[in-house]
Structure 1
Amino acid sequence: MTEESESASDVVRRERFSGGPARGFLSSMDADARIFAADLAVDRAHVVMLAEQGIVTDDEAATILAALESVEDAGFDALPDGEDVHAAIETAVIERVGDVGGKMHTARSRNDEVATCIRYRLREDVLDAVETTLGLREALAETASDHTETVMPGYTHLQPAQPTTVGHYLLSYEQAVARDTERLFDAYERVNRSPLGSAAFAGTPFDVDRERTAELLGFESVLDNSMDAVSTRDFLVEVVAALSNLATTVSGLAEDLIIFSNKGLVELSDDYASTSSIMPQKKNPDTLELVRATAGDASAGLNGLLTTLKGLPRAYNRDLQKATPHAWDTVDEVTEAVAVAAGAAATATWDEAALADAAGEGFSTATGVADLLAMQGVPFRKAHEMVAEAAEEGADYSALDSAAESVLGDSLDAYVERAAVEAALDPEKSAASRDSVGGPAPESVSETLSVAEAAIAADADALGDERAALDSAAEQLQTEVSRFA
């Protein structure tokens, strides 16, 4: 319809909603640069489908697709003003080819369009996050392989607890990050479903092929219920929750390395540290402090997202425009933080001498002595009481022997040979003795390492498969678009 053919009421309505002080408040253009390419892909897939279904002619499709290419070449910054990138692209198309450009929006709404664009772009971001977790896991595993026998202090409540090995410690984080990888893959599967074709929320009378647009855009399936498809943002919650968990995991690693650095047990590479502006002797773990802080930003993003979504009525509400930036901010910050943590872990230098000295502090081998007595038939609680009494006297063989007389009623050698006690008191031998599955003994660490390396390789293959599927769909879409050139 041209402006000349509009009724007076049409003109009044159009002018009524074309301006006003709230126009800028309604606009999401600043945030929409991120989904510019996604919207163009969604537009192309939709137009191809419309032509295949006979809803628009091939010539009309060719005209629209050529206009979209021109819009893409001009770039996001050349778009006209609009409430969002979707409307701005449509306006730019119409400016180039006239009324036929308005047929691009046939059988869809901005509601299903924006939901599709968000999912389309978020898929890439989730896969990028997965890739950074693999980088961190590789760094942890590689460093662990160099330190399967390097003894170090283990802490609970930040107090010396038991000797362990650097390899055992690092693999504890590798396994935690592996679960974070798994959560991201799980979330990706539910992101990778297409809402396109649901229109505003109640479907469309046009004979659209939703499976075809899903195929062209690389989605694994469609969301069946059209109302749910346009209104749900649970996929954002799932992704941001997985990222928040990942950020929390990595904040623990960052905190440990900061503390170990403070104790002189590990030295960070200069690339991941800084010095003071006034105190030249200082080497500050600044990057890891920022990694640690990212967990707060991520949890705030999750809370903000959940609060925005809480209590929204079906189906589409403009509140959802405020929900998506929480996901963009979180995925960007957490992905960057994980990459930094991986670099810091990979380049840190562990001081083996300092670690060995610290490994026995605070009578950290006490549990090993109690275990040794329990293996000889002494009730563990009695052995625990005896070793605790010895700890007050000096935590050496003499103190243990005296405590045995006091608590057990006999000398220590009545229960176990002195050589075995001396071995249990040695931090390195103590760590080596704990060779149960997943323990700190070098053999156990090596076994855990082999499992970890296999899991990393499998997840890398899975990531490659997902990326290949998206690339294949993009190529297919381009091929179909070229048919109309």
Structure 2
Amino acid sequence: MTDPEANSEDSADGESVVRRERFSGGPARAFLSSLSADERIFAADLAVDRAHVVMLTEQEIIGEDTAGEILAALDDVETDGHDALPDGEDVHEAIETAVINRVGPDGGRMHTARSRNDEVATCIRYRLRGGVLDLLETVVGARKQLLDVAAEHAETVMPGYTHLQPAQPTTVGHWLCSYESALARDTARLFDAYERINQSPLGGAAFAGTPFDVDRERTAELLGFDGLVENAMDGASARDFLVETTAATTALATTLSGLAEDMVTFANRGHVKVADEYSSTSSIMPQKKNPDTLELVRGRTGDTTAGLNGLLTTLKGLPRAYNRDLQRAGSHAYEAIDSVTASTEVAVGAVVTADWPAEKLEAAASEGFATATGVADRLAQSGIPFRTAHEIVARAGEHEDPGIDEIAAAVEAELGEPLDAVADRAAIEAALDPVESVRMRDSRGGPAPSAVGEHLDRARDSVSEDQTTLDERRASLAAAATRLDSEVSQYV
């Protein structure tokens, strides 16, 4: 079969042979080019080229000798690296030019039955899935670390806040488990995104398919994709997988921002000591120790959120099939993944290396009458309607640092009966202690050490399952890479 690219004329190194002379110069060339940014998908493009050439050969669309020359040229291109590529509008054109420069006109047969549209869409998915798996590896590892520290501090009582006001006592372990739970949902969202990333658009050509007898399932298999983007037009134009990935990554960044903010606030109150490795000092104030890394975790969330908005704005209102606007889409997802991977490592590193002063935390846990809810619960457990118990404890709370005597007086004022007549005085007094207040909250998901222990068992099982899924995804991609190498070796 004849490939139009086979008629391309040879050129000197460094000049594109893919574009006609009319489209090869002028002041807009640099504006059009994405070659520098495409270094990120250089390896992906080589893999896609190899799989496509193997498939073309198996389908007898190109000859084995030609395939061998092209595949050998691709090996040379890989060895020389991205920086050695000739000029071009993008990495795809530059690699094709480099192949033709080595093989001659027959090198142009590599592009038979495909377009840059399906090629770039495949490369983006190929590269992005690896970044998502790397991020997942970091997040799953972070969750393991948080659970380990939570187990160490399951009985370390600390103040809990709502509206930044003292609310109820909790524990460091319970607080850490709350963030591990959020990271577990972030993990699930990234896995969901991965499933839709890992579908192959290759073989759809520009958007309307091809008259060549291609085997799209074969290239998908060689590249480790789980299936196909069925519709050729959808395959060329769809970038919703970028939106989903960037949105999931932004959600993760938001989780980390909350974690960072809590740590900054705790450090301000003396509730935690951030390790020196995650702090800095002032250039003028020698006494300062600032949790700067955590502040940057907060700040980077703004970058990721802006990236999501930028991506959505780029995609909004685009007509179907390929538009050059899409050249600007992928960077938002890549940059979000890079940034949030680093933020995850830093935020969790700051937490797991921090010092939690148990005595100071326990003392702070009773400030602001934070055990009031526990007292009201104990009164309600004695048979008093909770709303009445709420009013009694609120009346007692009008006193500074209320104790059992103020509660007894409030009971008598509200009910007309002494405390001993309506409740167990010792139980009510015990509820004023933050340690007891935590211990009594043993409902599922509560801060009692027993409840936290049960939660840790379930959470560790979930982490283990996610690690297994992650390992399976990586093993599947590794097996595909091995298959592709094996097939290529038959021709080179």
TM-score grouping bracket, smaller chain normalisation:
over 0.9
SS of residue paired to 1:281 = coil
Q: Tell me, yes or no, if structure 1 residue 430 matches structure 2 residue 437.
A: yes
* 1:359-370 equivalences in 2 (<5 Å): 359-370=365-376
1:357 is matched with: 363
Tell me, yes or no, if the aligned pair for 2:9 and 2:105 is still in contact at 8 Å.
no
2:62 is matched with: 56
Letter in 2 for 1:361: E
2:125 is matched with: 119
2:467 corresponds, among 448, 460, 463, to 460
2:44 corresponds, among 38, 50, 61, to 38
Q: Return structure 1 stretches of 4+ with deviation > 3 angstroms.
A: none
2:418 is matched with: 411
SS of residue paired to 2:179 = helix
SS of residue paired to 1:371 = helix
2:294 is matched with: 288
Q: Tell me, yes or no, if structure 1 residue 162 matches structure 2 residue 196.
A: no
Find the aligned partners of 1:293 and 1:371 in 2 and give their Cα distance: 40
**1:53-102 Cα deviation digits (max 9, x unpaired):** 00000001000000000100100000001000000000000011110110
Letter in 2 for 1:444: A
Once the two structures are TM-superposed, the CA of residue 51 in structure 1 deviates from its matched residue by 0.2
Assess, with a 3 A threshold, how the Cα gap between structure 1 residues 183 and 156 changes in structure 2: closer, same or farther.
same
**1:102-151 Cα deviation digits (max 9, x unpaired):** 00000000000000000000010000110111121111101000011111
Letter in 2 for 1:168: H
Letter in 1 for 2:213: D
1:15 is matched with: 21
* 1:89-108 equivalences in 2 (<5 Å): 89-108=95-114
2:246 is matched with: 240
Tell me, yes or no, if the aligned pair for 1:187 and 1:238 is still in contact at 8 Å.
yes
**1:277-322 Cα deviation digits (max 9, x unpaired):** 1111111101111111121111111111011101100010000001
**1:210-232 Cα deviation digits (max 9, x unpaired):** 00000000000011100001100
1:78 corresponds, among 75, 80, 84, to 84
Aligned residues: 478
Percent of aligned pairs with the same amino acid? 66
Find the aligned partners of 2:276 and 2:367 in 1 and give their Cα distance: 29
Q: Tell me, yes or no, if structure 1 residue 469 matches structure 2 residue 476.
A: yes
1:320 is matched with: 326
Once the two structures are TM-superposed, the CA of residue 3 in structure 1 deviates from its matched residue by 5.2
1:307 corresponds, among 297, 302, 313, to 313
Once the two structures are TM-superposed, the CA of residue 2 in structure 1 deviates from its matched residue by 5.7
* 1:201-280 equivalences in 2 (<5 Å): 201-280=207-286
Once the two structures are TM-superposed, the CA of residue 242 in structure 1 deviates from its matched residue by 0.3
Letter in 1 for 2:386: F
SS of residue paired to 1:267 = coil
2:456 corresponds, among 449, 461, 473, to 449
Letter in 2 for 1:75: G
SS of residue paired to 1:160 = strand
1:133 corresponds, among 130, 139, 153, to 139
Tell me, yes or no, if the aligned pair for 2:143 and 2:183 is still in contact at 8 Å.
yes
Give the gaps of 5 or more residues in structure 2.
1-6, 11-16
Letter in 2 for 1:460: Q
**1:389-423 Cα deviation digits (max 9, x unpaired):** 11012321111111112212222222112211111
2:428 is matched with: 421
1:153 is matched with: 159
2:3 is matched with: none
Tell me, yes or no, if the aligned pair for 1:141 and 1:449 is still in contact at 8 Å.
yes
Assess, with a 3 A threshold, how the Cα gap between structure 1 residues 357 and 107 changes in structure 2: closer, same or farther.
same
Find the aligned partners of 2:104 and 2:72 in 1 and give their Cα distance: 13
Letter in 2 for 1:398: D
Tell me, yes or no, if the aligned pair for 2:158 and 2:169 is still in contact at 8 Å.
yes
Tell me, yes or no, if the aligned pair for 1:369 and 1:425 is still in contact at 8 Å.
yes
**1:234-267 Cα deviation digits (max 9, x unpaired):** 0000000000000000100000011111111111
Find the aligned partners of 2:36 and 2:299 in 1 and give their Cα distance: 26
Letter in 1 for 2:453: S
Letter in 1 for 2:295: E
Find the aligned partners of 2:411 and 2:381 in 1 and give their Cα distance: 15
Find the aligned partners of 2:436 and 2:372 in 1 and give their Cα distance: 13
Give the gaps of 5 or more residues in structure 1.
5-10
Once the two structures are TM-superposed, the CA of residue 15 in structure 1 deviates from its matched residue by 2.4
Deviates more, 1:242-251 or 1:372-381: 372-381
Find the aligned partners of 1:164 and 1:142 in 2 and give their Cα distance: 18
Once the two structures are TM-superposed, the CA of residue 275 in structure 1 deviates from its matched residue by 1.1
Once the two structures are TM-superposed, the CA of residue 14 in structure 1 deviates from its matched residue by 2.5
1:7 is matched with: none
Tell me, yes or no, if the aligned pair for 1:39 and 1:117 is still in contact at 8 Å.
yes
Please tell me the root mean square deviation across aligned C-alpha atoms, in Å.
1.2
Q: Tell me, yes or no, if structure 1 residue 483 matches structure 2 residue 490.
A: yes
Q: Tell me, yes or no, if structure 1 residue 373 matches structure 2 residue 379.
A: yes
SS of residue paired to 2:167 = strand
Tell me, yes or no, if the aligned pair for 1:135 and 1:342 is still in contact at 8 Å.
no
Letter in 1 for 2:300: T
Find the aligned partners of 1:414 and 1:311 in 2 and give their Cα distance: 72
- TM-score (ref. length: structure 1): 0.97
1:384 corresponds, among 372, 390, 400, to 390
